[in-house]
Structure 1
Amino acid sequence: MGKTKVYSIVICLLNIFICFSQVNAIKNEKVILINKKYNETSKVTQYLYDSLFYETAHSQKKVGFFEFDYKSDEFLVKGFITKPLRLSKKKYPVIIYNRGGTGNYGKISAEDFPFFYKWYQEGFIVVASNYRFVNERGPFDQFGGSDINDVISLFKYLKVFDFIDLENVFMIGVSRGGMMTYKLTKYLSVNAAAVIGGVTNLKTLIQNRPVFLNGWNDAEKEEDNYKGLRNILKDFDIHKEQYIEDRSAVRWANKINTPIYILHSRQDGFVSVNHAIEMAGELEKANKEYQLKVYNEKSHSLPFQYFDSHEEISDWFKKHMK
């Protein structure tokens, strides 16, 4: 057999292997149903959605909400995606959603899917990660440490979904997810991003809320407790400034090249509005593209039931669509 023919066979087998690997990069995909009726959901959920919209998302038959496993470093991480139940050749722009919370607090569940559905109504697919620090690993959440890799890995897996338009990738981060969004802009190329109630200065956060530094141990379930960054990050007291620097976008705003829309409430009781104002100031100094909107009403997550946050972000993303 000639060398040219052998070479061709090897290349063919390699291409088959690559295709097979990509197809199997996403594992254990299964549909997740919105089982609860509106009056059975938590107070938080009822704050996020009005009953009419929630029931619309619950009863519609066009879109499926799916959970899947994907590899990130040595971990198998839970990912989520909305997609049409009947796929065509159409390609959709995609939003990577970075959840808030710490460990098991704030992890994604079926009650987040109406939010994803709202974006589907605007023509977007939403993908999200629960990060690696959930379930028994929840108490050890690095809060913007190695968990950043879980979103980077998810970004790389977007190519597996042939209905996603890789030319139009956007990102939304809420609270802790805002901190991660800022950090991820240094590693990922996305058209534009939006940050709601986001953390931009870890030093300020741990001063105002020491539980992030020292943790808590009063949860009913052990896995819902949190050890605190001081007890999780290696040699924290020695490398404290480095850890803070790494999680504080106000200190490296000049490295952010993604257009950012910052939305925050003046009366945010969880993350001070100063995080947003300080960040906007640093982006302004660095001559970066950004927009800032501060709401007077009290809120942290700025749900579209009460705020125009969805319309503002939607317009921002469509402005940066290719």
Structure 2
Amino acid sequence: MNLHHFFIFFLLLIPFTLLSQTRLYNISEVKITKPYEQISPLGKYRYDSLSYEIARKQTNYIFEKFNYTSDDTEVQGFSCIPKTTSGTKIPVIIYNRGGTGNIGRITEEDFPDFYALAKNGFAVYASNYRYVGASGANDQIGGDDIQDVIKLFQSIKNIDFIDVDNIFMVGVSRGGLMTYKSLTHINVNAAAVIGGIADFENLTNKRPIFLTGWTDLSQDLNYKGLENILPDFIQKKEQHIHDRSAVKWTDKINTPLYILHSRQDGKVPIDGTIELVKKLNTLKKEFQVKIYNQKSHSLPYSKFDSFEEIIHWFKKYIKY
């Protein structure tokens, strides 16, 4: 290849290289618009009026929405970042949301949670995962959507103010499953899971609707169920359950974990978490666990010390 041909080849390669990099785009600022009196009953359970209004009115952090590419899919994400970074590098928390399909999808009502974490000196990034909107009923719950967490992790490492040596992860409910599974593919300093799914077999034995689906909600909130989504589910049921159960591959998780769960969790039974903790202990993994007696699922920081404890856990693993 002569110099002229090499130069042409190089120019042709540049667009491919740029396209192959994972980056955020269509970034725009969003705000918490609703006053506390107008938020949902779930929002009022999650937040007290004071902490909500502080998050809504504060000016040191901004909330953004953006898009990024995962596989060949455009995925929506959200962030809470300092308004000014003063040339410093900021540690990051990747927040893995709970819910199935459009149930639990991120909205402005999640921003106070992001702010509660970010105000401790972090930037927070979260994915809505690929199965929202028209595709919400087809959620694979830890199938190909795991790539959405991995690609977000890769994307934020390209942001100039992000401290790539200090990346952490939080997962809530289904987000716990997403956290456990993604940690077998990527490395973060430490992670925390709140009411997370650790044993998908145990969960679906007690709540088979995740396999069979449901039709009793509004159309956008209904769900087909994994056995109707994955064409090979019946033939490979054991493998699909295995792939979504951290208790089956605990040895592959090497990230320091802080696990928080309510003994009276009515959504995700604590049994899976207890089994996971036993295996973490047997394998001499680095972990901490806190089991609350009060009945709750998401352990909102307005009623529990969950966020405070998580931040304390993360700061133990910050690299200076």
TM-score, normalised by the number of residues in structure 2: 0.94
Q: Distance between the aligned counterparts of 2:13 and 2:48, measured in 1?
A: 49
Q: Distance between the aligned counterparts of 2:10 and 2:55, measured in 1?
A: 45
Counterpart pick for 1:298 among 295, 298, 314: 295
RMSD, aligned α-carbons: 2.2
2:61 alignment partner in structure 1: 63
Secondary structure (helix, strand or coil) at the match of 2:50 reads helix
Q: Distance between the aligned counterparts of 2:264 and 2:186, measured in 1?
A: 32
2:229 alignment partner in structure 1: 232
Q: Which runs of 5+ in 2 are unaligned?
A: none
Is 1:132 matched up with 2:130? yes
Is 1:188 matched up with 2:186? yes
Q: Distance between the aligned counterparts of 1:50 and 1:205, measured in 2?
A: 30
Q: Distance between the aligned counterparts of 2:22 and 2:174, measured in 1?
A: 30
Counterpart pick for 1:199 among 197, 200, 209: 197
* Cα deviation digits, residues 104-149 of structure 1 (max 9, x gap): 0000010111111111210011001000000010000000000000
* Cα deviation digits, residues 45-81 of structure 1 (max 9, x gap): 1111111111111111221100011111111000111
Secondary structure (helix, strand or coil) at the match of 2:87 reads coil
2:275 alignment partner in structure 1: 278
Residue 85 of structure 1 and its aligned partner are, at CA, apart by 2.4
Q: Distance between the aligned counterparts of 1:193 and 1:44, measured in 2?
A: 25
1:243 alignment partner in structure 2: 240
In the alignment, residue 205 of structure 2 is paired with which amino acid? Q
Residue 23 of structure 1 and its aligned partner are, at CA, apart by 9.2
Residue 12 of structure 1 and its aligned partner are, at CA, apart by 8.8
Is 1:121 matched up with 2:119? yes
Q: Distance between the aligned counterparts of 2:5 and 2:59, measured in 1?
A: 49
Counterpart pick for 1:256 among 253, 257, 280: 253
In the alignment, residue 206 of structure 2 is paired with which amino acid? N
Q: Distance between the aligned counterparts of 2:269 and 2:21, measured in 1?
A: 43
CA contact (8 A) 1:137 1:223 kept: no
Q: Which moved more, 1:27-36 or 1:135-144?
A: 27-36
1:165 alignment partner in structure 2: 163
Q: Distance between the aligned counterparts of 1:9 and 1:54, measured in 2?
A: 56
Residue 171 of structure 1 and its aligned partner are, at CA, apart by 0.4
In the alignment, residue 164 of structure 2 is paired with which amino acid? L
Residue 182 of structure 1 and its aligned partner are, at CA, apart by 0.5
* Cα deviation digits, residues 292-318 of structure 1 (max 9, x gap): 110011110111111111121111111
In the alignment, residue 187 of structure 2 is paired with which amino acid? S
Q: Distance between the aligned counterparts of 2:43 and 2:200, measured in 1?
A: 28
Secondary structure (helix, strand or coil) at the match of 1:88 reads coil
Aligned residue-pair number: 319
CA contact (8 A) 2:250 2:279 kept: yes
1:76-91 matched pairs, under 5 angstroms:
76-91=74-89
2:266 alignment partner in structure 1: 269
1:38 alignment partner in structure 2: 36
In the alignment, residue 113 of structure 2 is paired with which amino acid? F
Percentage identity across aligned positions?
52
1:102 alignment partner in structure 2: 100
The change in CA–CA distance for 1:251 and 1:22 in structure 2 (over 3 A counts) is: closer
The change in CA–CA distance for 1:291 and 1:11 in structure 2 (over 3 A counts) is: farther
CA contact (8 A) 1:201 1:275 kept: yes
Secondary structure (helix, strand or coil) at the match of 2:307 reads helix
Q: Which moved more, 1:15-24 or 1:199-208?
A: 15-24
Q: Distance between the aligned counterparts of 2:216 and 2:57, measured in 1?
A: 38
In the alignment, residue 96 of structure 2 is paired with which amino acid? N
CA contact (8 A) 2:199 2:273 kept: no
* Cα deviation digits, residues 212-261 of structure 1 (max 9, x gap): 010011222x2211000110112211100000100000011111101111
Secondary structure (helix, strand or coil) at the match of 2:288 reads strand
CA contact (8 A) 2:92 2:166 kept: yes
Q: Which runs of 5+ in 1 are unaligned?
A: none
Residue 22 of structure 1 and its aligned partner are, at CA, apart by 8.5
Poorly superposed stretches of 4+, deviation over 4 Å: 3-24
